[in-house]
Amino acid sequence: MNIDFLEVAALELDDAFAYYEYQQQNLGYRFTYEVWNTIERIKYYPKAWHSFSHNTRRCLVKNFPYGVIYQAKENNSILIVAIMNLHRKPSYWVDRLK
């Protein structure tokens, strides 16, 4: 199964890594590890999480206040739409799908 990121989602991951790494050494790496574990869960069970909006789902990242917003495509691929900070405005990423 292919995993693709919207460019802005990849930038969100990079920004969150930098933020956590600035807060404490190696915390950024722990965050990234948990995000990739989340993506692996999505990869193996793409329909396991509830619908978050039309054609998107959200899987929460363990130990961090983040969720991975994604679309499971019919061509057996996953599109990562956002690496969403749960303390942020909840629907800030919706315009990315237009």
Q: Tell which wins on pLDDT, 88 or 71.
A: 71
Q: What is the pLDDT of residue 52?
A: 84
| Nearest by Cα to 31 from 74, 88, 22 | 22
Residue type, 4: D
Q: Which residue has the tokens 């574990």?
A: 37
Helix (H, G, I), strand (E, B) or coil at 15: helix
| Share above pLDDT 70 across residues of the chain, in percent, rounded to a whole number | 99
* Structural domains of the chain, ranges and CATH numbers in brackets: 2-85 (3.30.2310.20)
Q: What is the pLDDT of residues 18-47, one digit of tens each?
A: 999 999 999 999 999 999 999 999 999 999
Q: What is the pLDDT of residue 48?
A: 93
Q: Which residue has the tokens 């019919």?
A: 74
